């Protein structure tokens, strides 16, 4: 019942909600992402399933992540089981909470794109379940091992990478669509 394994993943509504929340037109998202307006329209109407690369481009254009879009893809339900053995569209990344909820949680296994700078509107917590990570935030470097956590206030620019091949990181955050943190002035 709450196990959505049999349902196909549909990201169109999540993409449309995010685009409209940012008050962007399809043409602006197309220019930012390098994808065509007709293709973006097909994605939003669930007539096309974007590849991992295309979803990343759309997410970047919408100032979010593919994981956030995937997490918001399924309809909200009160109880949902996310099975560990399920296959997810993005390799090594698994959303632990699906739907349009106030909380978002993801599991990252293995390597991560350390060159990509991240910044989220709301607070987040990173927990290292296995292995180790190196994080750069607020001009400082941190190395976290198994069992360590790092709390990031909303708006903090950061980047991270797995320092060991068997690394598993759980990231829990207040969802982007929630106004949990007021915009902070940049330093």
Question: What pLDDT score was predicted for residue 187?
Answer: 46
pTM of the model: 0.56
Question: What pLDDT score was predicted for residue 82?
Answer: 59
Q: What angle do CA 50, 56, 62 make, to 5 degrees?
A: 105
Stretch 116-126: mean pLDDT, rounded? 83
CB 38 within 8 A of CB 10: no
Confidence of residue 13 (pLDDT cuts 50, 70, 90): confident
Confidence of residue 181 (pLDDT cuts 50, 70, 90): low
Percent of the chain with pLDDT over 70: 76
């Amino acid at each position: 019942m709450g196990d959505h394994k049999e349902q196909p993943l549909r990201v169109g509504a999540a993409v449309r909600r995010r685009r409209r929340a940012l008050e962007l037109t399809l043409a602006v998202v197309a220019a930012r992402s390098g994808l065509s307006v007709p293709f973006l329209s097909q994605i939003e109407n669930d007539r096309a399933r974007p590849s991992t690369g295309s979803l990343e481009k759309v997410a970047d254009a919408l100032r979010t992540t593919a994981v956030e879009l995937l997490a918001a893809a399924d309809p909200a339900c009160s109880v949902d089981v996310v099975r560990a053995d399920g296959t997810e569209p993005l390799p090594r990344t698994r959303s632990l909470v699906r739907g349009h909820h106030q909380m978002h949680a993801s599991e990252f296994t293995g390597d991560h794109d350390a060159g990509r700078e991240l910044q989220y509107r709301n607070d987040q917590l990173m927990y290292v379940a296995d292995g180790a990570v190196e994080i750069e935030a607020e001009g400082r470097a941190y190395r976290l091992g198994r069992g360590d956590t790092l709390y990031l206030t909303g708006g903090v620019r950061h980047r991270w990478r797995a320092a060991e091949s068997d690394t598993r990181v759980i990231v829990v955050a207040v969802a982007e669509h929630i106004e949990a943190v007021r915009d902070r002035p940049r330093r």
